[in-house]
Amino acid sequence: MSLSFSNKPIGIFDSGIGGLTVANAIRHSFPNEKIIYFGDTAHLPYGDKSADTIRYYAIRISKFLLEHDCKMIIIACNSASSAAYEVLLDFFKDKCIFVNVVDPLVNKAIENGYKKIGVIATKATINSNVYKSKIESQNQFVEVIQHATPLLAPMIEEGFCNDDISQSVIAKYLSHPEFEGIEALLLACTHYPLIKKELTLFFDNRIDILDSTEVVVTQVRDYLTEKKLLNTGEPVEPVFYVSDYTASFEETTNVFYGKKVQLIEKSIW
């Protein structure tokens, strides 16, 4: 029996396992949705790659997810969202719905009416200028201070959270004088929800710390509801692919997904 369109899977991809923070939020909010996750562990980190290289990877992964009949693809990586979202829309036209992790966070920041916003992310995301230009194009009176924080993603993957190492790296990056007076900090990397509490403490609860997980869930809910694509089938276990398998990646899924998951190696290059 062929699947109705609404019962097709949602594809989610990231450079590696950081995007599991998004997959976890989607899983909890939409237990009836089938999830196919692809972590491009053979090519991480994306944060150090050129925009052209990230676009090439994003197209290959999207082709793979479309071969699995995905009705929606969530780009659960800020580096890929900033480099490749428009290219994917153009390349795949109406084949499925693409959701990026940048726009929902930008819209939330605008909606909250901040006047000075800090953004931290990988070098690729910061160099793309995507947050600054999207926020300022909606409100030219908002000041956006952005700084690359490239050590944070590997630090989190290596399990350095809530300890003296993470605290000193966070203090080094976030003590930048330009961040003085920000009302909100946007966590523009899907690894960073894991250090949200530490960042809140660093700022003594004085500012809002926003990450993309909940706003992406809202965006996905809006799209699926509006297009009548919510899955009505029985809940199914998600499937997790990676382009390069190591036992240590599998161990680390616990940190990002809340439980250890089995990774299937799949080369798509």
Per rule CB under 6 A, is residue 62 in the interface with ligand DGL?
Answer: no
CB 59 within 8 Å of CB 45: no
Among residues 16 and 231, whose Cβ is nearest to ligand DGL?
16
E strand or H helix at 14: strand 10-14
Pick one of 7, 9, 15, 35: the residue that binds ligand DGL (CB under 6 A): 15
Q: Is the bond preceding 45 in cis, omega lying within 30 degrees of 0?
A: yes
Cα distance between residue 63 and residue 98, in whole Å: 12
Helices marked H in 13-73 — which ranges?
A: 20-29, 51-67
CB contact at 8 A, 206 and 224: no
**Would you call 189 a catalytic residue per the annotation?**
yes
Which residues of 123-213 form beta strands (DSSP E)? Answer: 143-148, 184-187, 208-211
Q: How far is the CB of 25 from ligand DGL (least distance, A)?
A: 14
Nearest to 35 by CA among 45, 26, 47, 44: 26
Angle of helix 51-67 versus helix 78-92 axis, rounded to 10: 60
Residue 157 in contact with ligand DGL, rule: CB under 6 A: no
Q: 106 to 125, contacts with ligand DGL by CB under 6 A?
A: 122, 125
Close Cβ partners of 22 (under 8 Å, ≥ 6 residues apart): 12, 14, 74, 76, 101, 190, 212, 213, 216
Residue 27 contacts ligand DGL per CB under 6 A = no
Smallest gap, in angstroms, from Cβ of residue 44 to ligand DGL?
5
- Return the residue matching tokens 């961040």: 179
Least distance CB 65 / ligand DGL (angstroms): 17
Among residues 11, 13, 14, 83, the one that binds ligand DGL under rule CB under 6 A: 14
Q: How far is the CB of 100 from ligand DGL (least distance, A)?
A: 11
- Is 161 one of the catalytic residues? no
Binder among 47, 104, 118, 238 for ligand DGL (CB under 6 A)? 47
Q: Is 79 in the site for ligand DGL (CB under 6 A)?
A: yes
Q: Does 33 bind ligand DGL (CB under 6 A)?
A: no
Task: Compare residues 8 and 49 and give the one whose CB is closer to ligand DGL.
Answer: 49
Which one, 125 or 166, has the nearer CB to ligand DGL? 125
Contacts with ligand DGL, residue ranges (CB under 6 A):
14-16, 18, 44-47, 77-79, 122, 125, 153, 189-191
Q: Which residues have a catalytic role annotated?
A: 77, 189
